[in-house]
Amino acid sequence: MAFSVQTLLDNLNDSGNELNMIVLDACRDNPFGWSRSGSRGLSVVGRAPAGSIIMYATSANSTAADGTGRNGLFTSQLLNNIKNQSLSIRDVFDKTGEDVLSVSGGKQHPELSLRFFGASSAYLGARPAPAVQPAPVAQQTPAPVLTVQPAPASAVPSGFVRINGGTFTMGDSASGQRRVSVSSFNVSRYEVTQKEYQEIMGVNPSNFKGDNLPVERVSWFDAVEYCNKRSRREGLTPAYTITGRTPTTEYPITFATVTWNRNADGYRLPTEAEWEYSCRAGTTTAYNTGSSISGNTGWYKANSGSSTKPVGQKPANAWGLHDMHGNVWEWCWDWYEAYPNTAQTDPTGAVSGVNRLMRGGSWFHSAENTASAARNSSNPNGRGSDNGFCLVRP
């Protein structure tokens, strides 16, 4: 028996529920090839409504393992985590994804479509209260409750994570430190992949080929042009005005004058401050994993096998972002300059310069270069095989 998940979601959306959750365990080939590109696994829902959470047992164009017991690999891990009432709804799905990745040896990669903004503060059961010493009383199992925080006014784009604004200490002892405040924004959960880049630009300049590998050998100019082209395709206002492009149509772009319209709703590169704030995810240590990093939490020279790796194979940071430590350097908007000594709000870097900033480290560099505050820069026409980027939306 087959039914339309999209129709089910549309009906749930019409019902006025605050939250709708669907879990899809894709153990067999997708019979609905018309619903997305590819025919393997279950189809990605194209119109997931606000207030919905959809968990896929594996990524598009792949099938999920059956497992060895009563349930498949994905369902077994999900059931284990649902029993833990100390986990928020978001934590349940994130931990399930990490567990499936680990047990499958990285072969099965669950995906999460999250359009409900209180998932990190919502629980399937009552959230445990702090330990107290009450008088002995008869205990009852609490009825399931849903604790939520108000959702932001605008919906988070698919594949993005909403980063709430705040103030943090930016930099380290080597680069200098100061207090920086950033406004709220949305950032892509993964680095831009070769498939995404090819679909928009019509070319794939990468040295290491693979649809789910991060695109690389892209210049800063290439990255901002990708942002504009994708914005136009999706009916958004481009963030950048590009003039003096050289050459006028071909690639690679060797020169252009780029200005940023900060009122636009289109795709753009993060500022350096936004990037570090997102990477740290509330941490103050050298890495968002603590004072050190290991082969389990990032891709760098010692463990990369001298190449890029598919995005999202390492666990996300506390805010749900992957590959913030390693894989490819990620272009930022800013010109490279020494940090000022004063506190700043939404800094955008120098008004001019020679090199544009990159953050995050790469498969080619040491673990130290992947630290949250580590800086790198290159001429904006530079196109190394470890140069990639992520995306931001307002």
pLDDT digits (tens, 9 = 90+) for 354-389: 999 999 999 999 999 999 999 999 999 999 999 999
Q: Where are the beta strands (DSSP E) in 254-307?
A: 255-260
Return all residues near 114 (Cβ < 8 A) that are at least 6 apart.
53, 90, 93, 156
Q: What is the mean pLDDT of residues 203-222?
A: 97
Q: What is the mean pLDDT of residues 85-111?
A: 67
C-beta of residue 93 within 8 angstroms of C-beta of residue 55: yes
Q: What is the mean pLDDT of residues 312-333?
A: 97
pLDDT reported for residue 342: 94
5-114 shares its CATH topology with 160-393: no
Instruction: Tell me the residue type at 92.
Output: V
Between 1-5, 20-24, 82-86, 293-297, the lowest mean confidence (pLDDT) is in: 1-5
pLDDT reported for residue 48: 56
Return all residues near 57 (Cβ < 8 A) that are at least 6 apart.
23, 24, 25, 26, 27, 42, 64, 72, 74, 75, 100, 108, 110
For residue 173, pLDDT over 60 is answered with yes
Select the CATH number that applies to the domain covering 5-114 from these four: 3.40.50.1110, 3.40.50.1460, 1.10.1660.10, 3.40.50.300: 3.40.50.1460
Backbone angles phi, psi at 204, to 5 degrees: -135, 100
Domain ranges of the chain: 5-114, 160-393
pLDDT reported for residue 76: 77
Q: What is the mean pLDDT of residues 170-176?
A: 92
Domain 160-393 bears CATH identifier 3.90.1580.10: yes
Please report which helix (H) or strand (E) contains residue 76, including its range: helix 73-82
Place 394 in a pLDDT band, splitting at 50, 70 and 90. Answer: very high
pLDDT reported for residue 231: 98
Q: What value does the mean pLDDT of the chain take?
A: 82
C-beta of residue 74 within 8 angstroms of C-beta of residue 89: no
pLDDT reported for residue 250: 87
Q: CA-to-CA distance for 329 and 58, rounded, in angstroms?
A: 27
HSE toward the beta carbon, residue 233, CA cutoff 13 A: 12
Q: Could you tell me which residues are beta bridge partners of residue 329?
A: 387
Angle between helical axes of 73-82 and 89-103 (0-180°, round to 10): 140
Please report which helix (H) or strand (E) contains residue 284, including its range: none
pLDDT digits (tens, 9 = 90+) for 31-90: 434 344 444 555 555 555 666 777 777 866 667 776 666 677 778 778 877 776 555 676
Residue 3 burial by CB count (10 A; 0-12/13-18/19+): exposed, middle or buried? Answer: exposed
Task: Name the one residue in this structure whose structure tokens are 């590169």.
Answer: 269
Which residue did the predictor score with more confidence, 175 or 391? 391
Give first-to-last CA distance, the chain, whole Å.
42
Q: Which of 10-24, 88-102, 225-239 is the most confident on average?
A: 225-239
pLDDT digits (tens, 9 = 90+) for 255-270: 999 999 999 999 999 9
pLDDT reported for residue 375: 97
